[in-house]
Amino acid sequence: MIYSTATVPVNPEGKAKLTLDQVWAGLELKTRDAHEFLPAGLCTRCDVTEESPTHFVHDATIGGKDLREIIVLEPRRKVTLFRVTGPREGAIINEIVKDDTGALHLRFYCYLGPRDAVPNGTEEQAEQALFDSEQGNKAALPSTLERTRVLVADGRHPPARTKVQGRRVAIDLYIGCEKRFRESQTNAHGAAGDEDYLPHMIASNPCTSNK
């Protein structure tokens, strides 16, 4: 499995200052329309296909690969993307945090696995190295903030339109899915183990399976 994390300051010296609301609106926009934040031509489709008071779903084509993600928004704090289909499976989190001085930081962390890859094999090791490289998460976070600055400067930055109800919903949604998955796996195969559990759960459980 791939675990990776990176954190960058939102307002480094010499950059136009972004407020918490502006950063949040940028993160939400990125989940709804990735075209605005990725290099030209990389994302050819990003459509919100389902929406409810607790979460929404987008279907996207990025780098020629189709994927589906369930997104839960904790307003002005955290975006969690549960990868349902695509070359990788798992969870991706973008979180706005404050340090002891009150300064804003943007943090990324994920727990992912290449679908159907050999555990700790060459493919997985290569992906881990990419995620941890300067071209991985450390580059993606500043680019997200820079794109947000451009949108703000151009007057095209929309207000956040979050309707999702926050952290309790995120926890309930995920734990509910986990419980149903564990029950189905226990009934079919005995007690479910923890190894490779998260990607298998997201790929197989009745809450996230692609119907």
Place of tokens 């009934």: 187
Q: What is the pLDDT of residues 46-85, one digit of tens each?
A: 999 999 988 999 999 988 999 999 999 999 999 999 999 9
Helices 197-204 & 167-189 angle (0-180, nearest 10):
90
Q: pLDDT confidence of 7, banded at 50, 70, 90?
A: very high
Mean pLDDT of the chain: 79
Residue 120 has pLDDT above 90, yes or no: no
Taking 50 as the threshold, does the pLDDT of residue 197 lie above it?
no
Task: Summarize the confidence of residues 176-192 as an average pLDDT.
Answer: 46
Mean predicted confidence (pLDDT) in 181-185: 46
**Residue predicted with more confidence, 152 or 178:** 152
For 93-129, b where at least 16 C-beta lie within 10 A, e where not — what string? bbbbeeeeeeebbbbbebbbbbeebeeeeeebeebbe
CA distance 169 to 172: 5
